[in-house]
Amino acid sequence: MSERKNGKLSANGKPLDERIGERELRKIDARKAVTRSIWEGFAMFGIIGWSVAIPTLTGVAIGVWLDGNYPSRHSWTLTMIVIGLVIGCLSAWRWVSEEHRNIDKEK
C-alpha cells in the first residue's frame, strides 16, 4: 500500500508533505468560508418543502375540479396529486442540485 519514495512515505502516489499541505489548505478554506446560521438552514428546508407542497396542492385543486366537471371511473384527484408530487420533487431536486453546484464552484 505505502512505499518509500525519496526518503518520504507516500500513499496513493502522493508524498506525505503534499498530503499535509492539501489538508492545511482545506482547513484554511473552511475557516475563511462563511458559516450559515441555523435560520438559513431552516429557510432552506422551507424552500424545499414549499417547492413540493405548492405543485401537490395545485394538483389537488385541479383534480377536484376535474372530478366535479368530468366524472370518470378513475379519480382525477388522485392522479393529479401524484403528478403534482412528481413535479414538486423534480423541482426540489433541481434546486438542491444547483445549490450543490454553486457550493462546489466556490471551492
* pLDDT (0 to 100) of residue 2: 46
Whether the per-residue pLDDT at 48 is higher than 80: the answer is yes
- Give the side-chain half-sphere CA count within 13 A for 76: 14
CB count within 10 Å of CB 59 equals 23
Task: Supply the DSSP string of 63-102, one letter for each residue.
Answer: HHHHHHHS--SS-HHHHHHHHHHHHHHHHHHHHHHHHHHH
> Which range has the worst mean pLDDT, 6-10, 47-51, 74-78, 87-91?
6-10
CB 52 within 8 A of CB 89: yes
Phi, then psi, of 12 in degrees rounded to 5: 60, 30
Mean per-residue pLDDT over the chain, rounded: 83
- Tell me, yes or no, if the pTM score tops 0.75: no
CB 25 within 8 A of CB 33: no
As a whole-number percent, the residues of the chain with pLDDT over 90 amount to 43
Element (H, E) at 105: helix 76-106
* pLDDT (0 to 100) of residue 52: 95
Band of the pLDDT at 42, cuts 50, 70, 90? confident
Average pLDDT, integer, range 19-43? 77
Cell 482547513, located at residue:
27
